Chain A
């Protein structure tokens, strides 16, 4: 929705690094959220980027380029429990809309 694009599915190996990309329409843009959602559960907040650059939180990092309308979520040292959907969402003023999510499968 709202021109937020991310890949539908990705597969990565346990212990590896994976980057999930997200592009969005820049008009009226305030910030960019990333969420993790396990099957059958509610989304949980991972990060919110307002300024350009990389923000690191443990094994997860999120990057934003406002001028390019581009963000990515970087997951390091992948664990089996990281198998989930990763949702990108853009805030335009107080309105927060989501992409369709990227389903990540971590394999041994």
Chain B
């Protein structure tokens, strides 16, 4: 039981490049979340999903897209990376009944 995993762990992009961050969970959780964490800003919700095939916007969705084609995976895409997207990205999942939220280890992204 791996819990919540994130790929990649580190990445450096140039401005304008695109990439996809993968979050996978093997706990059969319904709800999945993408957050970014910046110094002094706390965790900010980018997008979330309440089930396979559904997504919703969080607090800071601009510049990001997401997809939840399979229940166990939640993908975060950056179509045209900007330096303001330099951050640590965390994925999390919740089993609906217990509401215990598990986080992945994070992806450290630098956009130059």
Interface segment among A43-51, A57-65, A68-76: the answer is A43-51
Given contacts A1-B59, A101-B42, contact A44 B99 (CB under 8 A): no
The 8 Å CB contact of A48, one of B45, B50, B100, is B100
Instruction: Judge if A33 is at the interface, Cβ distance under 8 Å.
Output: yes
Asked if A100 and B40 sit within 8 Å, CB to CB, the answer is yes
Using Cβ atoms and an 8 Å threshold, which residues of chain B touch A96? Answer: 33, 45, 48, 92, 94, 101
Which secondary structure dominates where chain A touches chain B? strand
Complexed CA–CA distance, A87 and B37 (Å): 12
Closest-CB distance, A27 to chain B (whole angstroms): 16
Closest-CB distance, A91 to chain B (whole angstroms): 7
Interface string of A60-97 (1 = CB under 8 A from B): 00000000000000000000000000010101001111
Using Cβ atoms and an 8 Å threshold, which residues of chain B touch A35? Answer: 101
Q: Interface extent on A, as a size class?
A: 20 to 34
Given contacts A95-B45, A95-B56, A96-B94, contact A45 B100 (CB under 8 A): yes
Which secondary structure dominates where chain B touches chain A? strand
Q: Interface extent on B, as a size class?
A: 20 to 34
Asked if B50 and A94 sit within 8 Å, CB to CB, the answer is yes
Instruction: Judge if A2 is at the interface, Cβ distance under 8 Å.
Output: yes
Interface string of B84-107 (1 = CB under 8 A from A): 000000101010101111111110
Complexed CA–CA distance, A95 and B44 (Å): 11
5 A-B pairs with least C-beta separation: A100-B42, A42-B103, A98-B43, A94-B50, A48-B99
15 A-B pairs (CB sep. < 8 Å): A1-B45, A1-B59, A33-B99, A42-B90, A42-B103, A43-B103, A45-B100, A48-B101, A94-B50, A94-B94, A94-B96, A95-B48, A97-B58, A98-B43, A99-B42
> A41-B105, A42-B106, A91-B99 given. 6 additional CB < 8 A pairs?
A2-B59, A43-B90, A50-B99, A95-B48, A95-B56, A96-B48
